[in-house]
């Protein structure tokens, strides 16, 4: 089952434009993370935002978190061809003595030259 | 530091067979999580190992099992393979058992069941 759902499922923009992806989740979280995956390879961690944070920046990335709406957004500014990839939000789900990180279904981003 | 490595990179098996996938965690990481990713989908959590014990499990049947060794490397075993087991299997390590550190992924093993 998916905890997070990304929107849109696919996004195609021109190089240099900004890309915005959204993520909604179902249960309370301690933090939310965004990961990137190039063409069937391993995922790479991009940024983590904790539940008591509202906004975080890292280079060309800007993440927002609205815990009241159970949603997050990832903004990539000044997109480049190399940003073409799938982007996943991930939330931690605690149960018994363990926690697990659950991924959404992803947004496939294509940057047109 | 050495990253997460997985072997083999690709594997073809026949329905009903058994398979073992291997993962070496990143140096200094004692927690390993396994994920299954079907084509076009997000990774699905299989289970997590911490200090050689299973520390959480997703919605996968018992024919999916695992091990973690004293050096924190790990194996994923799948018995009685089914066609739907065809997927990219991802291993991820992190430096602690229950805090919420980012995961460091290997490049996966692509399993095809025919």
Q: What is the DSSP string of B48-114?
A: EEETTEEEEE-S--TTEEEEE-TTS-EEEEE-S--GGG-EEEEEEEESSSSS-PPPEE---EEEEE-
CA distance to partner chain A, nearest, from residue B96 (Å)? 11
User: Percent of chain A scored above 90 by pLDDT?
Assistant: 76
Task: State mean pLDDT over B33-38.
Answer: 96
Residues of B with CB under 8 A from a CB of A: 4, 33, 35, 41-45, 48, 50, 55-56, 58-59, 88, 90, 92, 97-98, 100, 102-108, 110
CA distance to partner chain B, nearest, from residue A78 (Å)? 25
Is the pLDDT assigned to residue A98 strictly greater than 90?
no
Render pLDDT for B97-109 as a digit per residue (tens, 0 to 9). 555 678 999 999 9
When the pLDDT of each residue in chain B is averaged and rounded to a whole number, the result is 92
Residue A100 pLDDT: 82
Residue B1 pLDDT: 56
Which of B98, B103, B104 lies at the smallest CB-CB distance from A98? B98
| B60 touches B43 (CB < 8 A) | no
Kindly give, in sequence order, each residue whose CB lies less than 8 Å from that of residue B37, ignoring residues fewer than 6 positions away. B43, B44, B87, B88, B89, B90, B108
Contact B35 A104 (CB under 8 A): no
Inform me whether the C-beta atom of residue A57 falls under 8 Å from chain B C-beta atoms: no
Inform me whether the C-beta atom of residue A48 falls under 8 Å from chain B C-beta atoms: yes
Contact B98 A44 (CB under 8 A): no
Is the pLDDT assigned to residue B80 strictly greater than 80?
yes
CA distance to partner chain B, nearest, from residue A85 (Å)? 12
Confidence label for B55 from pLDDT (cuts 50, 70 and 90): confident
Nearest CA-CA partner of A109 in A74, A64, A71: A74
Q: Range with the lowest mean pLDDT among A52-56, B55-59, B79-83?
A: B55-59
The secondary structure of residue B26, as a DSSP letter, is P
């Amino acid at each position: 089952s998916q905890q997070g759902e990304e929107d849109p499922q696919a996004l195609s923009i021109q190089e240099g434009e900004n890309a915005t992806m959204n993520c909604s989740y179902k249960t309370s979280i301690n933090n939310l993370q965004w990961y990137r995956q190039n063409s069937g390879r391993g995922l790479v961690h991009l940024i983590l935002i904790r539940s008591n944070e509202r906004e975080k920046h890292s280079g060309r990335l800007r993440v927002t978190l609205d815990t009241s709406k159970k949603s997050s957004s990832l903004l990539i500014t000044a997109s480049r061809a190399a940003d073409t990839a799938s982007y996943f939000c991930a939330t931690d789900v605690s149960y018994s003595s363990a926690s697990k990180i659950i991924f959404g279904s992803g947004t496939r981003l294509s940057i047109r030259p | 530091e050495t990253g997460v490595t997985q072997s083999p990179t690709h594997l073809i098996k026949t329905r009903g067979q058994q398979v073992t996938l291997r993962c070496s965690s990143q140096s200094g990481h004692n927690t390993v999580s396994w994920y299954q990713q079907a084509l076009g989908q997000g990774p699905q959590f299989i289970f997590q190992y911490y200090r050689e014990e299973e520390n959480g499990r997703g919605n996968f049947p018992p024919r999916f099992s695992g091990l973690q060794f004293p050096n924190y490397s790990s194996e994923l075993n799948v018995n009685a393979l089914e066609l739907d087991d065809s997927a990219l299997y991802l291993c991820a390590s992190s430096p602690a058992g229950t805090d919420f550190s980012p995961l460091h992924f290997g490049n996966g093993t692509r399993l095809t069941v025919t």
